[in-house]
Amino acid sequence: MGKTNIRIKDIAEKAGVSTGTVDRVLHKRGRVSPVAEKKVLEVIEALNYQPNFIARALGANKNYTLAVLMPDPALDPYWSAPQKGLEAAAADYNSHGITIEKFIYNQNEVQSFADTSERIFSKKFDGVIVAPLFFQQYLPFAKKCGEENLPLVLFNTNIKEVPKLSFIGQDSYQSGRLGAHLLSTGLRLDPGEILLLHLADDLENSAHLMRKEEGFKDYFEQQEGRQRILAVNIKSPINENLVNHLDALLDNYQDIKAFFVTTSKAYEVAAYLEGVGLQDKLLVGFDLIEENISYLNKGVIDFIINQNAYRQGYQSIESFVDFLVLKKEVNDLLYLPLDVITKENVKYYLPQA
């Protein structure tokens, strides 16, 4: 680089020591006299030294293997987005020596998480990326990682009780408010009932869904409040149960104007509405999965809130690159944007294959 860029060598010269000493100071490896250390730090400060990350990455010349612990995309298509993000990032950071190994668990079985997570310790990894859907089972796993000095990056679901390197995800409460805003705009002159649907088997274990509900309700309470919110949870088998429930609900409450689905299964509701000719009702859901996109394009789903699942996966790897390879500081909490998706802008959000 030009004369503007200062290198370790330059610092060494100015400080009257060797590059090795500067290196030791930079990496806090010890074996440096207080006098030399002070001098080096002063010069670093004075010259405003910025390490060359390119050279650092090349010089490090290490391989890092990361374990990825996440639910099975085959059982819930939502998870294919973060998986793609993880794989894309792994490919992009191949030059940095990053490799991933996936450990897939069954999100419908608590025990599967425990079993699969245990398998991670059979090999030596440099870090673990995990979507910890099960709070109770995650705790001992995280504890063990701590003991083995395995840094943890969480995505999708935040668990604050145990130390971690970083969490990457979205603010569930705020996403509830956002959904409320969208529906509120659509209903502004039109009071009535809004149906909030959790389509999840383990609502008890899903704190983030409850956070969405809170945000959603809070928003309307702070408005004039002409809308009434009905919150309902429907478990699997969804397609059967949904029809029964919705038939009954629409029968009881004539004034249901809109639907808010807190999970990625808005397409199930869309299918129902289309079936009974109610596709004009407002419907807002989450996540850019194929089924939802299809109903979005048909106009049955009005808005999709995108939680950037792909980005979550990609960013998880990047956090580790920053930490392991570049030794940058990493933020322990990163909220990704909550994108509002419509038929008109959806194409810009799909990861280009």
Partner DNA sequence: AAATTTTGCGTGTGCGCCCACACATTCAAA
Partner DNA sequence: TTTGAATGTGTGGGCGCACACGCAAAATTT
Residues that bind its own copies (CB under 8 A): 1-2, 5, 50, 52-55, 57-58, 61, 63, 94-97, 174, 177-178, 181-182, 185-186, 188-190, 219, 282, 302-303, 335-345, 348-349
CB 151 to DNA: min, Å: 15
What is the C-alpha to C-alpha distance for residues 154 and 136, in angstroms, rounded to an integer?
15
The count of C-alpha atoms lying within 13 angstroms of the C-alpha of 224, restricted to the half-sphere facing its C-beta, is: 9
- Look up residue 276 and give its DSSP letter: T
How far is residue 146's CA from residue 130's CA, in Å, rounded to a whole number? 14
Q: Could you give the CA distance from residue 68 to residue 84 in angstroms, rounded to a whole number?
A: 12
- Closer to its own copies by CB, 30 or 59: give it: 59
Q: Which is nearer to DNA, 30 or 277 (CB)?
A: 30
In the complex, which residues of this chain contact DNA (CB under 7 A)?
1, 5, 7-9, 12, 16-21, 23-24, 26-27, 30-37, 51-52, 55-56, 58-62, 327
Phi, psi of 34 (to 5 degrees): -55, -40
**Residue 65 or 241: which CB sits closer to its own copies?**
65
Q: Nearest 5 degrees, angle CA 130-CA 318-CA 102? A: 35
How near is the Cβ of 297 to its own copies at its closest, in Å?
A: 12
Of 26 and 162, the one with the shorter C-beta distance to DNA is 26
Q: 260-293: string of b/e by CB count within 10 Å (b at 16+)?
A: bbbbbbbbbbbbbbeeeebeebbbbbbbbbebbb
Residue 17 interface partner, choices its own copies, DNA, none, CB cut-off 5-8 Å depending on type: DNA
Residue 233 phi, psi (nearest 5): -115, 135
Longest CA span, the chain: 85
| Residue 349 binds which entry of DNA, its own copies, none, CB below 5-8 Å type-dependent | its own copies
For its own copies, the closer CB: 5 or 239:
5
Q: Out of DNA, its own copies, none, which partner does residue 178 contact, by CB within 5 to 8 A per kind?
A: its own copies
The one of its own copies, DNA, none whose footprint includes residue 26, by CB under 5 to 8 A per kind, is: DNA
Q: Are 43 and 35 in contact (CB under 8 A)?
A: no
The H or E element spanning position 59 is helix 53-60
Q: How far is the CB of 179 from its own copies (least distance, A)?
A: 9
Residue 118's binding partner among its own copies, DNA, none (Cβ under 5 to 8 angstroms by kind) is none
Among the listed residues 269, 266, 193, the one whose alpha carbon sits nearest the alpha carbon of residue 228:
193
Residue nearer to DNA on the CB measure, 94 or 185:
94
Least CB distance from residue 95 to DNA, whole Å? 8
* CB of 61 or CB of 149, closer to its own copies: 61
Residue 348 binding result from DNA, its own copies, none, given CB thresholds of 5 to 8 Å by partner type: its own copies
DSSP track, 126-191: SEEEE----HHHHHHHHHHHHHTT--EEEESS---SS--SEEEE--HHHHHHHHHHHHHHHTTT--
Shortest Å distance, C-beta 3 to DNA: 9
Instruction: Choose the one of DNA, its own copies, none that binds residue 353, judging by a C-beta under 5 to 8 angstroms depending on kind.
Output: none
